[in-house]
C-alpha cells in the first residue's frame, strides 16, 4: 500500500546574527547564526576555526543574545564539515542549557561527528535528507555515501537521518526513528519507525533480529508490523508490487541468492 505525503509550509524564519558586544577588544566570529523556525532553533557553526578559538566566541554569543529568546526550545546544531567529539558536544549542550536552550539534534557531514552525537543520545542528521520525504524522479537511486554504523541503543525521541544505509548494533526503542536512503540493519530489537529507501529506492531492505516496529516504510510504501514471532527470529522487510512484505531472514536469503544466480 502507498500513502501520499504532503510537505508542510515552512514558517517564516528569523535569524539572530552573531553580534554580541565583546569586552577587551576580543574579535567577533562571523558565521555563528541562530535561526528560529517552527518551534525550534537551528544553530549554525562556522567550519574554518579550531574549537579552541570558536568555543569562547560561542559563550559570548549566547550571553549577548540570551534576551532574544524567552522559552526552552530544542536546538538543531548544523556543523557541516566541522569534526566534533563527545566532549565538545557535551560542552555545547551544557552551554545551551545554561541559557535555557536544549540541544536536540546534530546535523553534520562527518560520520565521526554523527557517531559521537548518537552515542551521547542526540538525534543525528548526516547530509540533507529531509524527514519522511524526498523522491528521485529518474528511477531507483543507488545510495553512494558510506553507511553509518552506530553501536548504541536508540531511545525514544532520537532520530537518525542518513543519505545511505544505516547499521545499528543495539535496540531501537518505540518513539525512535531511522530514515535512510539505503538499507536499515538493526542488530537488535526494532520497535520504532524505520524508513528505508527514503529517496525512492524500492530495492532497499529493513533487516533486524526482532521485527516489532511501530511503522515500516520503504520508499513510498507504508506498513505496520504484525506481532513478532515467539520466540523471535531475524526477519527482512522488502517492497513488492503488493506493498511491504516480511519474511524470515533465512528463507529470504535463500530466495534472494537463487534470484541473483546466473
Find the range with the poorest average confidence among 14-18, 179-183, 200-204: 14-18
Q: Is 262's pLDDT higher than 70?
A: no
pLDDT category at 141 given cuts 50, 70, 90 is: very low
Given a cut of 80, is residue 25 above it in pLDDT?
no
- Nearest CA-CA partner of 189 in 205, 165, 175, 172: 172
Residue 68 has pLDDT above 80, yes or no: no
- Decide if 219 contacts 3 (C-beta within 8 A): no
pLDDT digits 0-9 by tens, 114-123:
999 999 999 9
Joined grid coordinates for residue 88 = 565538545
Mean predicted lDDT score pLDDT of the chain: 81
191-194 long-range Cβ contacts below 8 angstroms, 24+ apart: 192/154, 192/156, 193/217, 194/237
20-37 as b/e: b if 16+ CB within 10 A? bebeeeeeebeebbbebe
Domains (range + CATH), the chain: 1-126 (no CATH), 131-262 (2.160.20.70)
Q: Determine contact, residues 123/160, Cβ cutoff 8 Å.
A: yes
Regarding predicted confidence, which is higher, 61 or 5? 61
- The stretch 188-210 carries a mean pLDDT of 95
Residue-level pLDDT at 205: 95
Answer for the pair 214, 195: CB distance below 8 angstroms, yes or no.
Answer: no
Q: Can you give the pTM of this predicted structure?
A: 0.76
102 by DSSP, 3-state: which? strand
Instruction: Kindly indicate the confidence band of residue 176, based on its pLDDT and cuts at 50, 70 and 90.
Output: very high
Lowest mean pLDDT across 4-8, 86-90, 170-174, 253-257: 4-8
| Of 183, 135, 109, the residue nearest 3 (C-alpha) | 135
How far apart CA 250 and CA 93 sit, in angstroms, is: 44
> 14: which strand partners?
36
- Given a cut of 60, is residue 126 above it in pLDDT? yes
Would the pLDDT of 193 be above 80? Answer: yes
- Give the model confidence (pLDDT) of 210-258 as tens digits: 999 999 999 999 998 888 888 989 999 999 988 999 999 887 765 554 4
Please say whether the beta carbons of 46 and 57 come within 8 A: no
Looking at residue 23, its pLDDT comes to 38
Residue 21 or 107, more confident = 107
Grid coordinates representing 84 are 566534533
Alpha carbon distance 223, 106 (integer Å): 29
Note the residue count of the chain: 262
**Binning pLDDT at 50, 70 and 90, where does residue 48 land?**
confident
Q: Which helix (H) or strand (E) holds 258?
A: helix 249-260
C-alpha cell at 184: 536499515
**pLDDT band at residue 15, thresholds of 50, 70 and 90?**
very low
Integer Cα distance of 14 and 19 in angstroms: 15
User: Which of 58-72, 123-137, 184-198 has the lowest average pLDDT?
Assistant: 123-137
Name the nearest CA neighbour of 31 among 90, 93, 81, 68.
81
Between the ranges 46-50, 138-142, 165-169, where is the mean pLDDT highest?
165-169
| pLDDT greater at residue 10 or residue 74 | 74
Amino acid at each position: 500500500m502507498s500513502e501520499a505525503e504532503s510537505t508542510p509550509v515552512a514558517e517564516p524564519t528569523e535569524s539572530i546574527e552573531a553580534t554580541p558586544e565583546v569586552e577587551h577588544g576580543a574579535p567577533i566570529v562571523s558565521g555563528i547564526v541562530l535561526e528560529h523556525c517552527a518551534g525550534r532553533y537551528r544553530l549554525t557553526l562556522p567550519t574554518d576555526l579550531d574549537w579552541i578559538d570558536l568555543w569562547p566566541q560561542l559563550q559570548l554569543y549566547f550571553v549577548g543574545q540570551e534576551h532574544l529568546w524567552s522559552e526552552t526550545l530544542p536546538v538543531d546544531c548544523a556543523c557541516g564539515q566541522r569534526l566534533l567529539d563527545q566532549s565538545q558536544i557535551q560542552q555545547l549542550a551544557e552551554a545551551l542549557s545554561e541559557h535555557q536552550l536544549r540541544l536536540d539534534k546534530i546535523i553534520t557531514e562527518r560520520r565521526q561527528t554523527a557517531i559521537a552525537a548518537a552515542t551521547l543520545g542526540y538525534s543525528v542528521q548526516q547530509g540533507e535528507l529531509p524527514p519522511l520525504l524526498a523522491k528521485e524522479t529518474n528511477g531507483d537511486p543507488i545510495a553512494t555515501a558510506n553507511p553509518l554504523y552506530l553501536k548504541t541503543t536508540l531511545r525514544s525521541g532520537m532520530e537518525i537521518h542518513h543519505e545511505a544505509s544505516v547499521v545499528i548494533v543495539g535496540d531501537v526503542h518505540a518513539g525512535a526513528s531511522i530514515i535512510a536512503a539505503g538499507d536499515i540493519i538493526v542488530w537488535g530489537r526494532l520497535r520504532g519507525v524505520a524508513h528505508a529507501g527514503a529517496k525512492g529506492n524500492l530495492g532497499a531492505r529493513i533487516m533486524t533480529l526482532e521485527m516489532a516496529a511501530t511503522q515500516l516504510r520503504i520508499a513510498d510504501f507504508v506498513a505496520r508490523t504484525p506481532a513478532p514471532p515467539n520466540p523471535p527470529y531475524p526477519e527482512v522487510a522488502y517492497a513488492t508490487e503488493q506493498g511491504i512484505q516480511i519474511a524470515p531472514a533465512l528463507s529470504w536469503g535463500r530466495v534472494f541468492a537463487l534470484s541473483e544466480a546466473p
